[in-house]
Amino acid sequence: MSDQRKKKKLATRELIKLTAKASFSEKGIAATNTRFISKASGLAVGTFFSHFPDKLSLVKELFLRIWIPH
């Protein structure tokens, strides 16, 4: 995989996380679904699932990002 492709993939993953975080804050985790996150990110639902197997995996990653220092 080229460096440019890796950067794009990482940027897409970050976009998903930022969009989800905003929606979780506004609507709550339970009221936010993967379809909404995808649409709000301007991505296809399949793109979401190429980065995260499910919403719970995304929630776990966001949680770990907050609680575990890098």
- Confidence (pLDDT) at 27: 97
Q: What is the DSSP letter of 4?
A: H
Structure tokens at 20: 């989800």
| Direct distance between the N- and C-terminal alpha carbons of the chain, in angstroms, rounded to an integer | 25
pTM metric for this prediction? 0.90
Which residues, at least 6 apart from 32, have a Cβ–Cβ distance to it below 8 Å? 20, 23, 24, 55
- Confidence (pLDDT) at 65: 82
Q: What is the pLDDT along the chain (70 residues), one digit of tens a residue?
A: 799 999 999 999 999 999 999 999 999 999 999 999 999 999 999 999 999 999 999 999 999 887 776 6
Torsion sign (Cα): 60, 63, 65, 70: negative
Q: Which of 31, 20, 22, 11 is nearest to 61 (CA)?
A: 20
